[in-house]
Structure 1
Amino acid sequence: MKNEYFISGFCHITTEEVSVNGTVILKNKTTDFDAFLKNIYQLKELNYPKFFKMDSLSKLTFLGAEILLKKEAIPSETPKNIALLFSNKSSSLETDRKHQKSIQSESEFYPSPAVFVYTLPNIGMGEVAIRHQLQTENAFFVFEQFQAEFLQKYTVSLLQEKKCEHVLCGWTEVDGETRHGFFYLVSQNGKMPHTKQNIQNLYTQR
């Protein structure tokens, strides 16, 4: 059976650099990942003040989506046509630790609401939906490792069931020294077939 769907674009954000479709667009010259994310924000000339209140996981998710959706020029008049499918290994564990630390702090009677907001991994996905006014399917899964086959099959089911025309997929892992965002866009247009092997190959290109 002929493959009906294609990967039209992909993006990596790591502690070293940002690349789009295999081309590096920004090198990290800092040792602070949040500072690097701010540099990406400034490079793309974004205007979304809420970005600065997000945790690292949400910032990473937000920027990956921003880069790809603008690069591939998805029509803004069809917000219901883009589904979101994200995953990672550590959920929101890094922010959970900060929240737990604030609860246990003797100097702070109340834990920080600003931190508590981000103690779910899908909050970053929600920020993307708000930013781009997306009103379609979205899901966030937690796996021990990147699952190309699962993402491929889930994406195809969304497209075949006509629940969307595009699917933005992402792996957004933020925990300890590990910081890696991998994003790719799937639709009926493109040159690279949307296969498990191609997804896995793109994921390892970092």
Structure 2
Amino acid sequence: MSTKLNIQAWCSVKNGTVSCNGKKIVSTDNEQTFSEFAKQIYKEQQWEYPKFYKMDRLSKLTFMTAEILLNEVTISSEEKEQLAVVFSNKSASLDTDRNYQNSINSIENFYPSPAVFVYTLPNIGMGEVCIRHKIQGENAFFVFDDFNPLFLKQYAESLAQNNKATQVLCGWTEIDEKGYKSFLYLASPNGTLPHTEETITKLYTQS
């Protein structure tokens, strides 16, 4: 029997602001760099995951959003076996690709940076989330020109209808030279908001 999904929780991280389930929980000086902002959130939330500091910017953004969101819900180890992850963005890992290319072009380095090369795929941040929370379900990362709520809805519900997932962590996580925004939500039978294109769009827009 397939699982009916509703939206249980959501979180947004955008240019110095963190909102969760419609409530602003962090608001900082927009003049901060992303790295300064990420470091502040890490310390304020008192996370104990030193690997965070080694991540690229996209992975940090994805990790932060998922960490705050998943700390708002209770998901058992058994449920995590059926928790799928579906993320998306516009520029894939371009932000990190540029940094890697700069390390190649630098006359000060004989070799490009392997520490940066590790993150030259957009799904690496998703993998960091899965490792951190021991998520074992299916996962996929898609690239679109813009936020695509209809696709997220249809893909998540397809996973549920085909008994490949009972809950799905969905969303958008994008960072470039102009700014950053990550919006993730948990589609679950425990949710109270309808899992519709309209609702997803509304939450994304208001976050």
TM-score range, shorter chain: over 0.9
Distance in 2, Cα, partners of 1:166 & 1:68: 14
Cα offset for 1:78? Answer: 3.3
**Residue 17 of structure 2 corresponds to which residue in structure 1?**
17
Aligned to 1:129: 130
Distance 2:53 2:78 in 1: 27
Distance in 1 (CA, whole Å) between partners of 2:72 and 2:132 is 16
Distance in 2 between residues matched to 1:162 and 1:38, nearest whole Å: 39
For the 8 Å contact 2:66–2:184, the answer to whether it is kept is yes
Give the Å deviation of 1:16.
2.7
Deviation of 1:160 (Å):
1.2
2:192 maps to which residue? 191
In structure 1, stretches of 5+ residues that fail to align are none
Q: How far 1:171 sits from its partner (Å)? A: 0.4
In structure 2, what residue type is equivalent to 1:47?
A: E
Partner of 1:34: 35
1:101 counterpart residue number? 102
Please tell me the residue identity of whatever aligns with 2:127.
G
Q: Which residue of 2 aligns with 1:84?
A: 85
Q: TM-score, normalised by structure 1?
A: 0.95
For 1:118, the equivalent position in structure 2 comes to 119
Instruction: Summarize the Cα distance change of 1:84–1:184 in structure 2 as closer, same or farther, 3 Å threshold.
Output: same
Taking structure 2 as the reference length, what is the TM-score of the superposition? 0.94
SS at match of 1:71: coil
1:66 counterpart = 2:36: no
Distance 1:177 1:73 in 2: 35
Distance in 2 (CA, whole Å) between partners of 1:125 and 1:132 is 11
1:29-49 deviation per Cα after TM superposition (whole angstroms, max 9, x unaligned): 351111111222222211110
Q: Give the whole-Å Cα distance in 1 for the aligned partners of 2:16 and 2:49.
A: 24
Deviations 1:103-135 (A, max 9, x none): 112221100111111110000000011111111
Partners of 2:125 and 2:82 in 1: CA distance: 19
How far apart, in 1, do the equivalents of 2:78 and 2:36 lie? 33
| Structure 2: segments with no counterpart, 5+ residues | none
The RMSD of aligned alpha carbons is 1.3
Q: Shift of residue 77 of structure 1?
A: 4.5
| Preserved CA contact (<8 Å) 2:16 2:32 | no
Corresponding pairs, count = 204
CA distance in 1, matches of 2:159, 2:111: 42
Secondary structure in structure 1 of the residue aligned to 2:92: coil
Structure 1 consecutive aligned stretches of length 4 or more whose deviation exceeds 2 Å = 76-79
Give 2:169's aligned residue. Answer: 168
2:71 is paired with a residue whose SS is helix
